[in-house]
Amino acid sequence: MEGALQSKLTRLIAEGREIASAFELDVRQKKWHSFIAADYNVVLRQLLRLRRPGASFLECGSATGVIAIMADLLGFDACGIEIDADLVAVARRLADKYESAARFALGSFLPTGYEYRDSTGDRRLGTLMQGKSAYPQLGRSLEDFDIVFAYPWEGESALLQDLVKRYAGSDAQLLLYGDPMEVYRGKRQAG
């Protein structure tokens, strides 16, 4: 990676960490919120492995947008969807500051009409919030993305896998944050 890009990513990651630490103090210590930041360097290493020209990237639950912005700076055609308006504003400000073309939409990454049932028939969505689907704002659907990234809370990874199986293209990859990161190949279910 060239030096200028490396240094921009380093500055972005440092600022993203500072924002996440301030969020812990100002927001999460007062009221529960599901935003916890991933280790951006772990995600960056994975993005470098998956990098290919023109590939599209969606960050589901993009919070401050650091990961979608990193993806854009690495050459992905990157978008983020986030349900918290204050966080979307932070992401757009960071994208401007780091001269990134990553686009952020306010709303839910769950497509309209999506219903989840786990193996016991339970429809609960865990920490995921319900809201208007944000895909129309992007002018895209889940099917249009080559790589779908999410940082699921414990027990939510099955929902993300179900979502990608049902709505993403057959060659899409689902990237789930964790230690280690998990990569799934999306496969649309028949019917």
Ligand X SMILES: C[S@@+](CC[C@H](N)C(=O)[O-])C[C@H]1O[C@@H](n2cnc3c(N)ncnc32)[C@H](O)[C@@H]1O
Residue range at the interface with ligand X (CB under 6 A); choices 4-12, 24-32, 45-53, 61-69:
61-69
Nearer to ligand X, 59 or 72 (CB): 59
Q: Given CA atoms 14, 38, 99, 10 in this order, what sign does their dihedral have? A: positive
Total number of residues shown for the chain: 191
Nearer to ligand X, 23 or 172 (CB): 23
Q: Does 156 bind ligand X (CB under 6 A)?
A: no
Tokens at residue 143, please? 């099917």
Q: Give the C-alpha separation, 98 to 16, whole Å.
A: 12
Q: Is 37 helix (H, G, I), strand (E, B) or coil?
A: coil
Residue type, 150: A
Contact 1, 48 (CB under 8 A): yes
Q: How far is the CB of 119 from ligand X (least distance, A)?
A: 21
According to CB under 6 A, which one of 9, 12, 47, 67 is a site residue for ligand X? 67
According to CB under 6 A, which one of 9, 47, 59, 186 is a site residue for ligand X? 59
Residue ranges that bind ligand X, judged by CB under 6 A? 34-38, 59, 61-63, 67, 81-84, 87, 108-110, 128-129, 151, 177
